[in-house]
Amino acid sequence: MPKLLSSLSETKLNIEEEVLRVLDEVLSLNGRTIAFTRDTPLLGAIPELDSMAVVSLITTLEDQFGLVVDDDEIDGATFATVGSLADFVTAKLAD
């Protein structure tokens, strides 16, 4: 694999790992995220992820990654799966 692709893959993996860590911390999942994959459903599947938790999660992601997330940038699809949330963070970092 070329170095650039390798670096991009590693970066996406690191972002995904950090998103999982934030999910575990904000939702108080006590390590349950260790079994999560990109395809793990979030919104509607994890009882801890209610509307207040979504706000806390966004705030923590903004703090951890130095992002600014506008209200019109997010919807339910952003929180559909671990992968969709990680991809959202990756895209915001590329802005």
- What is the tens place of the pLDDT at every residue in 11-55? 777 999 999 999 999 999 999 999 999 999 999 999 999 999 999
Q: Name the CA radius of gyration of the chain, rounded.
A: 13
- Quick: pLDDT tens for 52-68: 999 999 999 999 999 99
Contact 14, 20 (CB under 8 A): no
Percent of the chain with pLDDT over 70: 89
Nearest CA to 90 among 8, 6, 7?
8
Q: Nearest 5 degrees, angle CA 47-CA 49-CA 52?
A: 125
pLDDT of residue 2: 40
The CATH number of the domain covering residues in 3-94:
1.10.1200.10
CA atoms of 93 and 66, how far apart (whole Å): 8
Where do the domains of the chain lie?
3-94
pTM over 0.75: yes
